[in-house]
Amino acid sequence: MDYASTLSKPAHAFMHLHSQNPTVTSPHDWLDPSLQLHVPLVDVDKVRCIIRNIVRDWAPEGQKERDQCYKPILDELDRLFPNRSKERPPCCLVPGAGLGRLALEISCLGFASQGNEFSYYMMICSSFILNHTEVAGEWTIYPWIHSNCNSLSDDDQLRPVSFPDIHPASAGITEGFSMCGGDFVEVYSDESQEASWDVVVTCFFLDTAHNIVEYIEIISKILKDGGVWINLGPLLYHFADTYGPEDEMSIELSLEDVKKIASNYGFELEKEKMIETTYTANPRAMMQVAQDQASVPFRQQRVGVPEIWPLDFGGQSVYNFMHLSKTAFSLMRTGSCNETRILEFLRMKDIIIIFRCFDVFPAKYSDCF
Ligand SMILES: C[S@@+](CC[C@H](N)C(=O)[O-])C[C@H]1O[C@@H](n2cnc3c(N)ncnc32)[C@H](O)[C@@H]1O
């Protein structure tokens, strides 16, 4: 994909909102057709999403949401790593770091923190804020100007928001703070990453997976023995219900099953609680959509995977099952599912897949075909 060209337009359009472009002298100049940019709607939507993320991560207005989502994680890190040394700080990875605020807060807490992010929109914006801000409150945006629903007043909708609320460079970061651009699966599957992190923090990230089991497997591999995984966020699987021509893979497990899979990868659940949060919500909107999020610190007992799958399908690796369609996978994922239903489903829809998974079925199933 040509990221450079898809990016230049929305980034350009966004900067126009508040830069001193000498060609724009009055608000009416925006009506000049030569200044109209033909930006695909999908990119416009991404820019709006980034603008809302600026509020979540870097505006005073986002403090309440940061307290809901980031503070419980920071508190756990503080509790779990009480004797942090400045000379050899524990290493913390934050996959899907968005605009980098959580990764920065973790760094300020005394960890060698690395954020990982694959969206160029997010990376460009976080680099702008982290590297190019000179004072707190330097920039102003109008983040809710596009939101026509649930406004209590026009003033609310048109209100300016300044950011960042802090000057990142003087926030007190620990040496080793970095942002790593790239797909989590590609970057951290590399052998060099094995057993190199003391803690992995996933915040609103797990459900971005096509294959959540793969995410968990990678987290288990890159953690040191005795390392900790802290997760907070919903299971609002991003690729659920994307039945397009490409029918992208999406494995949608319940929290119960996520915990079973994690335990099969050597994680022991230390603590769990439900937290009510919002995500990029407009704090002054008439309606706030709050979600319950599970916050789950896991401690890894051992590295290595003796038995991956909770069901006995002949001791095969979970990857044999990755060939199954998402629905077949969902049907098979719990021990309580009805064998006949699985087989009916496979007969109806997954004829080709039957042959792929046939040899991983216990012999008793093969009589049915
Ligand atoms: C819902 S946002 C959460 C951002 C941030 N953690 C927060 O709580 O505000 C999920 C983030 O994960 C990123 N992401 C999704 N899939 C990814 C992948 N495979 N590798 C790296 N980043 C990914 C998205 O670009 C997005 O920034």
Percent of the chain whose pLDDT exceeds 90 = 47
Rounded distance, CA 7 to CA 180, Å? 19
pLDDT at position 277 over 90:
no
Rounded distance, CA 258 to CA 206, Å? 10
In a domain, 127, yes or no: yes
pTM of the entire structure? 0.76
In a domain, 29, yes or no: no
Closest ligand 1 atom, residue 96 Cα: 12
Residue 94 exposed, middle or buried by CB count within 10 Å (0-12, 13-18, 19+): buried
Q: Which of 102, 119, 205 to mutate to test the pocket of ligand 1 (most atoms within 8 A of CB)?
A: 205
Segments forming the whole domain that contains residue 344: 318-366
HSE-up (13 A, CA, CB side) for residue 2 = 4
State the CATH number of the domain containing residue 226.
3.40.50.150
Query: Over the range 230-259, which residues count as b (16 or more CB within 10 Å of their CB) and which as e?
Result: bbbbebebebeeeeeeeeebbbbbeeebbb
203-213 tens-digit pLDDT? 999 999 989 99
Q: Is the CB of 298 within 6 Å of ligand 1?
A: no
Please give the torsion angle defined by the CA atoms of residues 209, 210, 213 and 215, in that order, rounded to the nearest 10 degrees: -40
In a domain, 198, yes or no: yes
In a domain, 281, yes or no: yes
Q: Is the CB of 204 within 6 Å of ligand 1?
A: yes
Local structure of residue 27 (DSSP, 8 states): G
Local structure of residue 93 (DSSP, 8 states): E
The first and second tokens of residue 115, run together, are: 């954020």
Q: Which of 118, 231, 238, 249 to mutate to test the pocket of ligand 1 (most atoms within 8 A of CB)?
A: 118
| Domain identity same for 165 and 237 | yes
Mean pLDDT of 54-74: 96
Amino acid in position 150: N
Average pLDDT, the chain: 76
